[in-house]
Structure 1
């Protein structure tokens, strides 16, 4: 696998058409996705505009943590509530600040294939190294394997950067079927899957069934990061990394080095706070926790509402009872 710098140089030396042909001809130039990626939050002003100053301050703090890169415009970035122009502008702002050796993975998924193709082109043009493409879900009753394979194949065929599939059933009500993942893993421009479902048997099965491909599995949550590593995942895109990034990078280090007993102790302390900022209380809780840990979370964009006092107290208990506050 190529380094980030080598990958970008190869792209810069080729026209888009030539680059696409190189991608289609070989998987040798696949980027290495191993490591921890925080799916960064989007800070807003009191008038619900994107607060680029606070975003930059968060980025400066994240630069001190050994992340593999950042995910921008993932679920925790409130991407469904941003305009297309805002989504692209946020990615461009992050690219201008992000260290050159760090990967920028940009969410470019839309409901239609055509819109996804267009946004993917724009994300690549402003500096995304990889795009994260969520499953279309509004007509989820018709989103069977055939429809999803066609969708992701068309996106990957046209994308000037590698594609990571994104299955997040808690938000979409739709899980990317294993048979679809296995078929899509054979595409030379599909680099891997971010699986946020938390089913370790499924993750292990996907790793097993795609082992003949250059295909990488990323755990989509910190609550099962160690378990995912144990069955072959290479890293994680974890909301909790916005708050406890150094600790999640330490968990990664312990897993990769085979120090499973130490990893187990750390993993157990992360389960409750992770659940609090994901499935239990969601993005408003993540943003509140960021404030406690010295980052700028701020308010969410409407219609998301701030935590109630009772929810805030529960969130604090989930962190303090595990020794984080």
Structure 2
């Protein structure tokens, strides 16, 4: 049986929220989950038009969580989305393991917790020695036994710069249980060689950019959306660009909005999940801007002074977000 891919659109790799420093259960070494804030943020996103959530990706600090915490996080958000009337918003659960069996265990657990898809990070520990054949066999072994459809997560920045060649994607895209990919790199030619490949069926295998700054060019070459960190702060802004493209908006307007998104994405590129949490806390009052787990704990270096370097851009994006919300 051939699995169906997630719907096209904008997804958010959500950060994992931990107890604030003022909370009674705060622990500087092993800070517990803050599911109340997690739910508040999830609902903020789906109400703004986000198509689904990626939980336990790189932004979600998956490598910092126990399997028990992983399951609690997924199940709590599936329950809260369903309760709020968003059963149609899929949860994509990330994995970041190095061996096939542990990956399958996490995918089994994710299904039980309520995830509809798995986003499987390329195993990069032996990046310098791994062959394209080995990578293909690894993903095939996972897909053969995964209880939920999987997407290939290609993020060289956290996998020792391992390369998954477009030709490898072409072969893996034929697998009935591999339904797409997230490409978290800026190589537009590689995006094109996958998204525009006539031998890859876009109704079965969807290409999502992991970088909102690439959204417009990726859409023009056949990509079907983004799994984007800035959308976790300004969801309506990023969704608007996707919708404008689908509606055939004027190129000048598309470029203007893409430019504004690129300005905001610079903070994500500089600070990653730490910057995303900082911005969510400062812009919307959700979570603790220093609420990551060690060794990321402490927020971005420079505090208010560093934020002043970004504040004008983010104030502008916040105003745009509110304007889009007001206009409906």
| Same-fold call, TM cutoff 0.5 | yes
Matched, 1:301 2:293: yes
On the 8 A contact 1:272/1:319 being kept in 2, the answer is no
| Range 302-311 or range 191-200, more displaced | 302-311
Matched, 1:198 2:180: no
Matched, 1:271 2:262: yes
Give matches, 1:87-236, under 5 Å.
87-98=70-81, 99-172=86-159, 173-209=161-197, 211-213=199-201, 214-236=204-226
Partner of 1:255: 245
Describe the superposition over 1:118-155 as per-residue Cα deviations: whole angstroms up to 9, x where unpaired: 11111111111110000011121222211111111111
Distance 1:181 1:319, change over 3 A: farther
Cα offset for 1:191? 0.4
Unaligned 5+ segments in structure 2 are 20-25, 319-328
Cα offset for 1:106? 0.6
Distance 1:175 1:258, change over 3 A: farther
Q: Which secondary structure does the structure 2 equivalent of 1:141 belong to?
A: coil
Distance 1:295 1:64, change over 3 A: farther
Matched, 1:324 2:320: no
Matched, 1:280 2:254: no
Distance 1:295 1:101, change over 3 A: farther
On the 8 A contact 2:62/2:96 being kept in 1, the answer is no
Cα offset for 1:32? 4.0
On the 8 A contact 2:181/2:208 being kept in 1, the answer is yes
Distance 1:308 1:37, change over 3 A: closer
Distance 1:309 1:159, change over 3 A: closer
Q: Which secondary structure does the structure 1 equivalent of 2:13 belong to?
A: coil
Distance 1:32 1:54, change over 3 A: closer
C-alpha separation in 1, matches of 2:270 and 2:300: 13
Cα offset for 1:211? 4.5
C-alpha separation in 1, matches of 2:90 and 2:113: 13
C-alpha separation in 2, matches of 1:201 and 1:319: 33
Where in structure 1 do 4 or more consecutive aligned residues deviate above 4 Å? Answer: none
Q: Kindly tell me the number of residue pairs found equivalent between the two proteins.
A: 298
On the 8 A contact 2:278/2:300 being kept in 1, the answer is no
Partner of 2:14: 40
| Range 288-297 or range 95-104, more displaced | 288-297
On the 8 A contact 1:54/1:296 being kept in 2, the answer is yes
Partner of 1:242: 232
Cα offset for 1:324? 2.4
Cα offset for 1:237? 0.2
| Range 55-64 or range 45-54, more displaced | 55-64
C-alpha separation in 2, matches of 1:210 and 1:190: 17
Cα offset for 1:224? 0.7
Partner of 1:82: 65
Partner of 1:19: none
Q: Which secondary structure does the structure 2 equivalent of 1:293 belong to?
A: helix
Distance 1:137 1:69, change over 3 A: same
